[in-house]
Structure 1
């Protein structure tokens, strides 16, 4: 096929476009609108928060201790867990920290009917407990107080920022107390470490999770960071019984 043949074939298309310029222009305009709308939607879908969870040096530990009471011949114990969290928004949209929960594995044997649910699965403490006093550490003659993430400080009255723009982070202590328990209902430890799953829920309901190991310590060590460690539920129970 020669060049002149190609020109002859294209001539009818040219005539049609010349006589239908309005239709062609309208089609281009509509296509541009549709593409712009679609790209806007896709861009919005790509803009979402993403929380990166880590811990900072300080009061991060699990502590299980006996109460001296018994239940059906089982020794009653309590568990307190403190985690000094740093949460960074490495996503592309702002969001707010709405809730922090922690999960751990029970220390029970495979013959138990609850083994699959809590020894393989996770036992969740879904809401932080209000600590009676600030977490602290003695440094020489001075005392350093750690900020809370989700409650106000009893010393300064301040609270960490929970609304995170992209590229911003916030840090603070979250504290959990488990009610009186017995048997293997406490965190399983290996080499004096407990495996936790941290779950941070943002204001949109999206969960951001990370597994990490924290030290398992004795009550005397825990009280060095907070003299009221493990006392919140006891105080609440005594006041409700009064």
Structure 2
């Protein structure tokens, strides 16, 4: 029985060898097309793997959040605004170059459990997508000198520094992003634990990719925030022509 099986295998091998010898052109063409197809597919897969990846860190300094009143009321609630300054370090740790197109800030509302809208606003983040132009540079006095912090997108007024937000793989950039949330009231503000609030920082690249990191950010009072920028929180007030409480028009 074993000899019959071996004989049958030998016949198939001999037939295969004969067919290959008689059809070398077809075999060569098949090998060429297969290699071409594999090379094309590997090129596509390689290009698909080439993506930017932005890694974000917070730097000590003008990195904080501030909730301050506007002096107005709505529906029996005091109206407030939120100012956020984040001193970011962004590195492209991916395999493709790209620019930082936008920065969004997200947080969950500070609402009483099981009240109307509580589930929606505590499950999903409220996102600030429009950056605010700061009226002055962020700076701090160090002895007889003044350190001016660069903005990530906005030009500095004093040093005229403009950061490069197009990053090759391995490159990084630092800068401040500044937000003022428009008039809000009630629980439309971050929940604060031990003087800090939890924020999500989402960077968008030029290809539409999203890169999200989460941080605990210090919460300061308005007078403390203005030690870094005397005009902190004043941009929307200037635009609306309505000064904040205790400030001249």
Do both proteins adopt the same fold according to a TM-score greater than 0.5, normalized to the shorter chain?
yes
1:187 aligned residue? 190
Please, what TM-score do these two structures have when normalized by structure 1?
Answer: 0.93
Out of 25, 30, 38, the position equivalent to 1:27 is 30
1:36 aligns with 2:39: yes
Q: Provide the C-alpha distance between the structure 2 equivalents of 1:118 and 1:2, rounded to a whole number of angstroms.
A: 73
1:215 aligned residue? 218
In the TM superposition, residue 156 of structure 1 has moved relative to its aligned partner by: 2.1
Q: Which runs of 5+ in 1 are unaligned?
A: none
1:117 aligns with 2:116: no
1:73 aligned residue? 76
In the TM superposition, residue 74 of structure 1 has moved relative to its aligned partner by: 1.9
1:58 aligned residue? 61
Gap change, CA 1:67 and 1:18, over 3 Å in 2: same
In the TM superposition, residue 122 of structure 1 has moved relative to its aligned partner by: 1.0
In the TM superposition, residue 121 of structure 1 has moved relative to its aligned partner by: 2.1
Instruction: Out of 77-86 and 107-116, give the one that drifted further.
Output: 107-116
In the TM superposition, residue 160 of structure 1 has moved relative to its aligned partner by: 1.4
Instruction: Out of 213-222 and 73-82, give the one that drifted further.
Output: 73-82
Write the deviation string for residues 65-87 of structure 1: whole angstroms up to 9, x where unpaired: 12222223322221100011111
Q: Name the SS for the 2:189 alignment partner.
A: coil
In the TM superposition, residue 97 of structure 1 has moved relative to its aligned partner by: 0.5
2:247 aligned residue? none
1:229 aligned residue? 232
Q: Provide the C-alpha distance between the structure 1 equivalents of 2:25 and 2:104, rounded to a whole number of angstroms.
A: 61
Q: Which runs of 5+ in 2 are unaligned?
A: 243-249
> Number of paired residues?
239
Q: Provide the C-alpha distance between the structure 2 equivalents of 1:11 and 1:2, rounded to a whole number of angstroms.
A: 14
Q: Name the SS for the 2:109 alignment partner.
A: coil
